[in-house]
Each structure stands twice: as C-alpha cells, then as structure tokens.
Amino acid sequence: MAHLIDIQDMHKVYSVGGEPVNALDGVSLSVDEGEFVAIMGSSGPGQSTTLTILGCLDVPTTGSYVLDGIEVAARSRRELARIRNRKLGFVFQNFNLLPRTSALENVELPDFYLDR
C-alpha cells in the first residue's frame, strides 16, 4: 500500500547573500493515512521549511515528495494551488483571515477558487 505522504532524500537550499544555506539535508519521511505525526525540535533545524513543502507552499530543491500518489516536487505554482485546494488544510498559529469578510465567507473562500 502506498503512503499518504512519502518524502525521500529531500533537500532545500536557499541563497542568502549569494551563499547557499542548507535548510534541509536529506530528509526522508513516510506517513500513512490515519497516522498522527508531530514535527518537533529546537529553533533552526528545518521544521518550518518541511511544513512549507508538505503544504505545497514551496518545493524541495532536490528529492522526491509524493502526496496521495501525486509527485509534488516538480509541479507548477498553479498545480500546487490546485493540490492545496483539493487535498490540504492549514491551521496557522496566527490568524490569516480576510478582515473585510465574515468568518463564514473566509471559510467558503477556497470553494470560490475551486475548478469546476
């Protein structure tokens, strides 16, 4: 049976002042449907980078990320948006609501962008 999330040898390199910074260096992780996973650690070892990639907000520099059978690593921004809309949900530490809309309208907003 395939994993819901399958990451193999994932690397993420950022350029800071022209110098490469390895945010992730060979991360591998598999999560099956129904499993609960916590990504924990002290500040700096790459939890936020990992979650950003898991949430399809960014892609790894190298490595493989398969989400529910879809290879995510090489997808375009538009395709990543479609995957986020159909397969993912986010709970943020800070409020990310649009201030000029009601709570209900904020919840309904992703449906507005859904391809029909």
When pLDDT is averaged across residues 53-61 and rounded to a whole number, the result is: 91
Model pLDDT, residue 116: 52
Instruction: Return d(Cα 63, Cα 74) in angstroms, integer.
Output: 10
Pick the CATH number of 5-112 from 3.40.50.1110, 3.40.50.300, 3.40.50.1970, 3.50.50.60: 3.40.50.300
Q: What predicted TM-score, i.e. pTM, was given to this entire model?
A: 0.76
- Stated as kind and residue range, the H or E segment containing 103 is helix 103-112
4 pLDDT higher than 60: yes
pLDDT tens for each residue of 71-115: 998 888 889 888 988 888 776 666 677 788 888 887 787 777 665
Q: Identify which of 113, 107, 38, 60 has the alpha carbon closest to the alpha carbon of residue 83.
A: 113
Model pLDDT, residue 93: 62
Residue with tokens 């924990």: 40
- Stated as kind and residue range, the H or E segment containing 11 is strand 5-16
Per residue, what are the HEC states of 37-54? CCCCCCCCCCHHHHHHHH
38 pLDDT higher than 90: no
When pLDDT is averaged across residues 53-69 and rounded to a whole number, the result is: 92
